[in-house]
Amino acid sequence: MKLAHVSVLEDFGNRSLLVHGLMVIAFANAVLLGLLVDGQFGAAAFVALLGFTAGLWVSQSIHSLGSASTTDYDGVLNELIDVDGAERANRRMYRFGRILALVAAVTAISLLTSAQVLSGAVFAGGVVAIGSIAVVTSIVGFIVALGASYDESQRRTNADLEAYADTIDVEPRRSDDRYDGDAESSPDSSRR
């Protein structure tokens, strides 16, 4: 039995939008609860939701590694805004920059909120955890962007080769272009 709402999630782009939506909701709630609710409950809710967001973020990054080259997925922004041609290629080219900007913004908000909510050794642990997630996500984002750039380069090269395959002149090989090795050491060198 195939359910319509489940079959929508077969597409990587739709799954990615869903996971990104969950990350936004969890992160926004973590920041709001951390800043607005006092005491241990606010701190625990902040840490729990921030950990959940970090887990989703790393999972989505790793999932992108396996799916980026096998699908037409070009990132969550390109899934939200439908574009074609050169504009799509430009967005693909700046993907790593967008990832770094997003990582920097989320890391800054997380650290600032952690400074307000946490204290002592818990704050130090939070800084290390937030920094680790930022580094891992940046590395995976770089690998995904590099793979997408390489795939695009290969597509353009193959398209150029196919477009100009009939126009390339190929000369037949001449017999005097042959290399016979060291002519002086060969037995036929006395004839030359």
Q: Which domain, by its residues, includes 31?
A: 10-71+85-164
- Distance, CA of 20 to CA of 24 (rounded, Å): 6
- Of 57, 61, 29, residue with least CA distance to 130: 57
Which distant-in-sequence residues (6+ apart) come within 8 Å of 111 by Cβ? 127, 130
Confidence of residue 4 (pLDDT cuts 50, 70, 90): low
Full-model pTM? 0.61
pLDDT greater at residue 32 or residue 141: 32
Residue 171 lies inside a defined structural domain of this protein: no
Residue 173 lies inside a defined structural domain of this protein: no
* pLDDT for 19: 85
Is residue 25 predicted with pLDDT exceeding 60? Answer: yes
Mean pLDDT of 137-164: 81
The tally of domains found in the chain comes to 1
Residue 190 lies inside a defined structural domain of this protein: no
Which distant-in-sequence residues (6+ apart) come within 8 Å of 59 by Cβ? 19
pLDDT digits (tens, 9 = 90+) for 91-115: 556 777 878 888 899 899 989 988 9
- Distance, CA of 51 to CA of 126 (rounded, Å): 10
Residue 169 lies inside a defined structural domain of this protein: no
Is residue 63 predicted with pLDDT exceeding 80? Answer: no
Residue 62 lies inside a defined structural domain of this protein: yes
Which distant-in-sequence residues (6+ apart) come within 8 Å of 138 by Cβ? 99, 100, 103
* pLDDT for 72: 57
